[in-house]
């Protein structure tokens, strides 16, 4: 008689490889202030090189290499509202038009380079990418964080991570991955729900810190309670309002979790934390809380990054019901990798899934109790 273990075929990992196309949407390049130093900045993204420079009308983004003889414009200088090439001093305006060639009698009619749509919001710089060269619409814009323009939040406590050898999809998968929050981010996710609709994918989570870990890597200790609502607006930018209950006090924070692709197998993570300023609270104290939360998040992201760097791309993950709507999320994510006219209804229709966490939390509590007992006996 053949046993069930031998009659069940071995499941093979399937992978079509990383897409060579880059997602359509707004991508955060970092904080506005980092580009306002009077110098051009080279950014490697979307399989190419772009250059960011400041003008009287705000930050502008152009293709990174001069259309004259190919010099790197990031090595040039800002002259007025134009970016001057270091090779022959051709001047390029933020709209992509050549504004002057000092040694030439006239500017050629064809003297134009690509200008990328940009937006400054929430203290951050965004660039729009679309292989079809479309212009962004209000329907897919990045929302403003309530109270940001009114100074109700601390400055951003900002961090970056370079992830090589992996595609951006690995990061987006975390939206539905309830279980990894216990093993990687060291919390009990005792409530977990996902909602996808249109260009927005949201994760609702309530969690508590684990008492068997280093307090420096904890959100606030064993008695803390974190309520989180994290939404991707498009393929790469997440706004995550959080309420942390610690010792009878509430700390209100907002996390930005964003990334942009460098090429098909590497991406850069930009994330930061700001805390809401409370009446009578010193701004430095608010920033200190944000720095503390960022330190905790940095630990978790560092754990994620190490896993992404070494894992295999898998298009047919073997799942349990507690693993969440992975396939539905990936179908939602596909809308950003096809032409607009090829977006299908099931990519944007509403999907809502709540995970039953009772069994998982019960198992994890027993594991934590065993860990604490072992620590006391050591």
**How does pLDDT run across 315-364, given as a tens digit for each residue?**
999 999 999 999 999 999 999 999 999 999 999 999 999 999 999 999 99
pLDDT exceeds 60 at position 222: no
Written as one string, the DSSP assignment of 92-119 is EETTSBEEE-TTSSS--TT-B--EE-EE
- If DSSP states are collapsed to H, E and C, what string results for 24-66? CEEEEEEEHHHHCCCCCEEEEECCEEEEEEEECCEEEEEECEC
CB 168 within 8 A of CB 264: no
The structure's pTM equals: 0.93
Please list the residue range(s) of the chain that carry CATH number 2.102.10.10. 25-140
Q: Is the pLDDT of residue 244 over 90?
A: no
Residue 219 has pLDDT above 70, yes or no: no
What confidence score (pLDDT) does residue 218 get?
58
Q: Which of the residue ranges 7-11, 90-94, 217-221, 360-364 would you say has the lowest mean pLDDT?
A: 217-221
- Is 137's pLDDT higher than 60? yes
- Residue 332, both tokens: 């939602």
Q: How far is CA 41 from CA 35, 49, 74, 83, in A?
A: 7, 10, 5, 11
Examine the pLDDT at 184 and tell me if it is beyond 50. yes
Q: Is the pLDDT of residue 105 over 50?
A: yes
User: Mean pLDDT across the stretch 88-112?
Assistant: 98
pLDDT-based confidence at residue 301 (cuts at 50, 70, 90): confident
Lowest mean pLDDT, pick from 92-96, 142-146, 281-285: 281-285
Query: What is the structure's pLDDT at 81?
Result: 97
Mean pLDDT taken over the chain: 92
**What is residue 216's three-state secondary structure?**
helix
Contacts of 358 (CB under 8 A, 6+ apart): none
* Nearest Cα residue to 99 out of 116, 117, 80, 74: 80
Q: What percent of the chain has pLDDT over 90?
A: 78
Residue 294 has pLDDT above 90, yes or no: no
Q: φ and ψ at 267, to 5 degrees? A: -150, 160
- Strands laid side by side in the 124-129 sheet: 25-31, 124-129, 118-121
Can you give the pLDDT at residue 268?
97
Q: What is the pLDDT of residue 8?
A: 84
Q: Candidates 2.102.10.10, 3.30.420.40, 3.20.20.70, 1.10.3720.10; correct CATH number of 25-140?
A: 2.102.10.10
Query: What is the pLDDT, as a whole number, of residue 2?
Result: 47
**First-residue to last-residue Cα distance in the chain:** 49
Q: How confident is the model at residue 133 (pLDDT cuts 50, 70, 90)?
A: very high
Calculate ∠ Cα 156-157-163, nearest 5°: 110
CB atoms within 10 A of CB 349: 13
Q: Helices in the chain by DSSP H: which ranges? A: 4-7, 169-172, 180-183, 283-310, 326-334, 345-348, 358-377
Nearest CA among 264, 274, 241, 297 for reference residue 124: 274
CB atoms within 10 A of CB 11: 9
pLDDT value at residue 255: 94
DSSP-based three-state secondary structure for 266: strand
Out of 222-226, 305-309, 324-328, 355-359, pick the least confident: 222-226
- Average pLDDT score over residue span 140-157: 94
Q: Which one has a higher pLDDT value, 17 or 277?
A: 17
Percent pLDDT > 70 in the chain is 93
Stretch(es) of the chain classified as CATH 3.90.380.10: 157-373
Q: Is the pLDDT of residue 1 over 60?
A: no
Does 376 or 239 have the greater pLDDT score? 239
Q: Please, which pLDDT band fits residue 114 given cuts at 50, 70 and 90?
A: very high
Q: Which CATH class is domain 157-373?
A: alpha beta
């Amino acid at each position: 008689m053949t046993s069930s273990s031998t009659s069940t075929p071995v499941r093979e990992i399937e992978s079509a490889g990383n897409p060579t196309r880059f997602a359509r949407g707004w991508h955060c390049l970092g904080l506005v202030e980092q580009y306002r130093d009077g110098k051009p900045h080279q950014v490697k993204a979307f399989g190419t090189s772009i250059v960011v420079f400041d003008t009287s009308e705000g930050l502008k983004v152009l293709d990174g290499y001069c259309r004259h003889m190919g010099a790197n414009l990031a090595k040039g200088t800002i002259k007025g509202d134009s970016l001057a090439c270091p090779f022959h001093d051709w001047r390029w305006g933020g709209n992509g038009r050549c504004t002057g060639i000092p040694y030439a009698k006239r500017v050629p009619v064809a003297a134009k380079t690509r200008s990328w749509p940009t937006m400054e919001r929430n203290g951050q710089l965004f660039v729009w990418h679309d292989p079809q060269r479309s212009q962004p619409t209000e329907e897919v814009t990045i929302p403003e964080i309530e109270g940001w323009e009114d100074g109700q939040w601390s400055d951003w406590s900002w961090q970056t991570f370079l992830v090589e050898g992996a595609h951006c999809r690995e990061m987006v998968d975390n939206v539905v991955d309830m279980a990894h929050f216990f093993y990687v981010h060291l919390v009990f996710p005792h409530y977990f729900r996902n909602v996808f609709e249109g260009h927005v994918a949201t994760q609702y989570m309530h969690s508590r810190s684990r008492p068997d870990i280093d307090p420096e890597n904890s959100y606030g200790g064993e008695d803390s309670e974190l309520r989180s609502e994290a939404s991707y607006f498009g393929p790469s930018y997440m706004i995550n309002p959080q309420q942390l209950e610690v010792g009878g006090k509430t700390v209100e924070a907002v996390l930005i979790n964003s990334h942009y692709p460098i090429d098909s197998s590497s991406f850069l993570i930009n994330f930061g934390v700001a805390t809401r300023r409370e009446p009578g609270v010193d701004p430095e104290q608010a920033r200190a809380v944000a720095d503390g939360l960022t330190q905790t998040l940095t630990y978790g992201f560092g754990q994620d990054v190490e896993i992404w760097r070494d894992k295999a791309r898998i298009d047919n993950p073997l799942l349990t019901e507690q693993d969440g709507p992975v396939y539905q999320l990936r179908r939602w994510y596909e809308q950003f990798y096809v032409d607009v006219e090829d977006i299908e209804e099931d990519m944007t229709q509403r999907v809502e899934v709540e995970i039953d966490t009772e069994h998982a939390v019960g198992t994890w509590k027993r594991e934590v109790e065993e860990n604490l007992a072992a620590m006391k006996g050591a």
